[in-house]
Structure 1
Amino acid sequence: MKKACIRVLVCAVAVVLWVSGLSGCRITDDKDGNRSRETSETAAASTSAPTETTKTTTVTIPETTPEATEAVFEYTWKPHVFSQIDRETIGSEAEQFFFDLVDAILAGEESVLCADKKFRWDLDLALGTYFPPYYHVVSDLTYADGAYRIKYRVGAEEREKMLLDFARRIETLIEWADLREDDSPTIRAVKIYRMYSERIVYDYHAINTDAITDVSTYRGLMELQGICQSFGSAYAYLCLQAGVEAATVSGLSTENAHEWTILTLDGKYYYADPTWESGNKGRGLRYFGMTATQREWNGGYIADEYNVGYSNDFWGREISVTDETFAPLWEAVEVTEFLEEDGVLRVVFERADGSVGEFEFR
């Protein structure tokens, strides 16, 4: 096993629980830029006992019609999202099986064809991020005769409600980000980052208890609560929903482990950390658009050993995250203006010393 932060999947008492193998950590900033670190051991995602059902229900996601405004970002929930990084490392065939599995779940089907049994295991760590309700509605998959049989955790009616509620929740979060149809991927990424980091609440109970606690992507979206592994993956998921290429990253320091997000903007990679930004109630932009060096400086996470995506086979030393386009924002303790006009998002911010800076997103 390579020396890196390895995410693992554990089965216990016939209930599948997603476990990150990370330590939760959070930086709390005050307006003056003073920082204090919280670290802890992560907990697994908790779900109710499985319940089998024979009823077949197809979940139909209702389309919403935005107000007739030229700049409105027309959006409905997309069940099929997958990062380019994981597509290249896990494989497009496994990705297609994942999409087929999602469609089967939405249709309430009891099985899904699979050309290669290993696809399910290749996807183990990705299922709960790219389809966040997965571990809350499915308890197990068993393989036989070229297909996986789906064992549901909840009955058909409850499952349908959960999936509809999830779709509406994602649509609401995207609406809160105030995206426009002509926004660039960069502007969409920072709008979602601001929206999300100012609303999430770190769950200190989850990191201070031995009890199994839900720290899933699903909870990070539905309740806006969790720890770093909840928020890093949830932000990536929202970006993918808005057409912004994103994936998760985990890293280790000498003291703890942490999880955040990697973005692809204008063909270059950047790191973003909504968990740390939430330490200042999301008022700043200090942890958006970080390079590998800046990320390592903020937390001491060893850049060469970052675990990028969910393949457990793609590391920080294999990827270049060096562009400093967003370097001025690393001092943005508090944003005071966030104004968009003619395709340009102008940000005015205060630094820790009280001086004022500006930055334009295009």
Structure 2
Amino acid sequence: MKKFLLLTMICIGVMIGGCSQVKKGTISSSAKEETGSDIKISEDVNSQNTKYDFKYNPYVLSKEFLIKYGKEYFDFYKNFVDAYLNYESSCSCPKEEYSYEVDFLTNSNFLMFNADAYFDNEKSIYDEETKTIHWVYESNSKKEHDRKIKEFENQVATYMCCLQKGDNDFEKTIALYKEFNSRMKYNKNLDDESPYHALMEGTGKCTSFSGAYCHLLLQVGVDSLTNGGFSQKSGGHSWNIVHLDDKDYFMDTTYEVGSKGSAGKGLLYFGMSKEEREEIGGFSIYNSQYGDVNDLKIQDYLDSGNRYSIFRNCVNFELKRNRGCVVYYNKGNCEPKEFYYKK
């Protein structure tokens, strides 16, 4: 399979080594029922200073853009972000095809754009004569613009309270999965269904959640992208592909939060393999693209893993960093089990 690395500034974190182990838990549980909300979880508390040092990065970029367009695209993207931060309403765009992806770009990677700007659908985004793209602001001043940006950065930072200093990619991914899902409510009847709105207001649908969760992972250096498909059983749907352990895994925060899930408390749809993603919802993965960028056939890039298949019945869990394990509870079983993600 073809594999590509992100640029150094958005590089993938340390890969997780070792084989998985599942052991019967030795801790006590007050679980009485089979639903996630009924199981009582104690948090893993460390008295030492373990606060995660988070600084918002406006330049995060999913790898599918680099796969298709190369480094030149990142140069365009950085100019685009800088122009927005400087309250400019256009930027150089050397190739018209770059403008084809800006809707996807601003709904997962460059979510900050939605804090104060939008593309005028009645006009062409790309100006062929000047080789520029154009957008419109909602604010009336640079001061108001900067305030909206700061509000968004501060809101993103609130999701990082679940992280600790030294977290590896798996720990970041699973901790943010729980934090994000615990704050989301499914609602498909919103006027604003953007991932930006999901992060700010805690509500949305599948496209809202997949873009928002992708953005959080990219912010902490975890390689993630949005993905979607269609089935006769489930209709159109959107989810995430996350790169862990040198493999690709499917994550579905929408299903986890919704009526098919664990009320956002479990891992029913965390780390699915290709086969599990196809089975759960009836999707044909090889009929979809790799990410949301046009013309990237998923079979050319996907390298699916199945390390986390043991979580398919998990309705609640806690991350025990000091022991390198996840203590989890399966549906219909109040006895805890342990998954060791470190040697």
TM superposition score normalised by structure 1: 0.73
Deviation of 1:136 (Å)? 4.8
Matched, 1:216 2:194: yes
The counterpart of 2:102, out of the listed 115, 123, 133, is 123
Deviation of 1:302 (Å)? 1.2
Q: Partner residue of 1:200?
A: 184
Deviates more, 1:270-279 or 1:124-133: 124-133
SS class of match (1:312): coil
Q: Partner residue of 1:173?
A: 159
Matched, 1:188 2:166: no
Q: Encode CA deviations 1:234-275: one digit per residue, 9 max, x unaligned.
A: 111100001110001101111311101100012110011111
Q: Partner residue of 2:322?
A: 341
**Partners in 2 of 1:135 and 1:198 — Cα distance?**
23
Deviation of 1:83 (Å)? 1.0
Deviation of 1:195 (Å)? 0.6
Deviation of 1:214 (Å)? 1.1
The alpha-carbon distance between structure 1 residues 136 and 346, as it changes in their structure 2 partners (threshold 3 A), is closer
Matched, 1:303 2:285: yes
Matched, 1:262 2:241: yes
The counterpart of 1:71, out of the listed 50, 59, 75, is 50
1:322-341 → structure 2 map (5 Å cutoff): 322-335=304-317, 337-341=318-322
Report if the CA contact (8 A) 1:240-1:246 is conserved. Answer: yes
Q: Partner residue of 1:285?
A: 267
Deviation of 1:135 (Å)? 4.0
Q: Partner residue of 1:9?
A: none
**Partners in 2 of 1:352 and 1:89 — Cα distance?**
45
Q: Encode CA deviations 1:133-192: one digit per residue, 9 max, x unaligned.
A: 3245223445243434443233224322211100100111112xx212211101110000
1:76-155 → structure 2 map (5 Å cutoff): 76-140=55-119, 141-143=125-127, 144-155=129-140
Q: Encode CA deviations 1:112-142: one digit per residue, 9 max, x unaligned.
A: 2232233222433222221113245223445
Unaligned runs of 5+ in 1: 1-29, 34-67, 207-212
The alpha-carbon distance between structure 1 residues 307 and 160, as it changes in their structure 2 partners (threshold 3 A), is same
**Partners in 1 of 2:175 and 2:232 — Cα distance?**
33
SS class of match (1:128): coil
Q: Partner residue of 2:6?
A: none
SS class of match (2:296): coil
Report if the CA contact (8 A) 2:115-2:149 is conserved. Answer: no
The alpha-carbon distance between structure 1 residues 85 and 142, as it changes in their structure 2 partners (threshold 3 A), is closer
Report if the CA contact (8 A) 1:200-1:225 is conserved. Answer: yes
Unaligned runs of 5+ in 2: 1-32, 37-46, 120-124
The alpha-carbon distance between structure 1 residues 243 and 235, as it changes in their structure 2 partners (threshold 3 A), is same
**Partners in 2 of 1:169 and 1:323 — Cα distance?**
32
Report if the CA contact (8 A) 2:118-2:137 is conserved. Answer: yes
Q: Partner residue of 1:236?
A: 214
The alpha-carbon distance between structure 1 residues 159 and 97, as it changes in their structure 2 partners (threshold 3 A), is same
Report if the CA contact (8 A) 1:192-1:238 is conserved. Answer: yes
The residue type equivalent to 1:126 in the other structure is: L
Report if the CA contact (8 A) 1:250-1:258 is conserved. Answer: yes
Q: CA RMSD in A?
A: 2.3
**Partners in 1 of 2:336 and 2:50 — Cα distance?**
30
Report if the CA contact (8 A) 2:314-2:330 is conserved. Answer: yes
1:49-68 → structure 2 map (5 Å cutoff): none
Q: Partner residue of 2:300?
A: 318
Matched, 1:350 2:343: no
Query: How many residue pairs end up in the alignment?
Result: 289
**Partners in 2 of 1:321 and 1:290 — Cα distance?**
12
Report if the CA contact (8 A) 1:94-1:123 is conserved. Answer: no
The residue type equivalent to 2:74 in the other structure is: E
SS class of match (1:334): strand
**Partners in 2 of 1:79 and 1:69 — Cα distance?**
30
Bigger relative contact order, structure 1 or 2 (CA pairs below 8 A, ≥6 apart): 2
Report if the CA contact (8 A) 2:327-2:336 is conserved. Answer: no
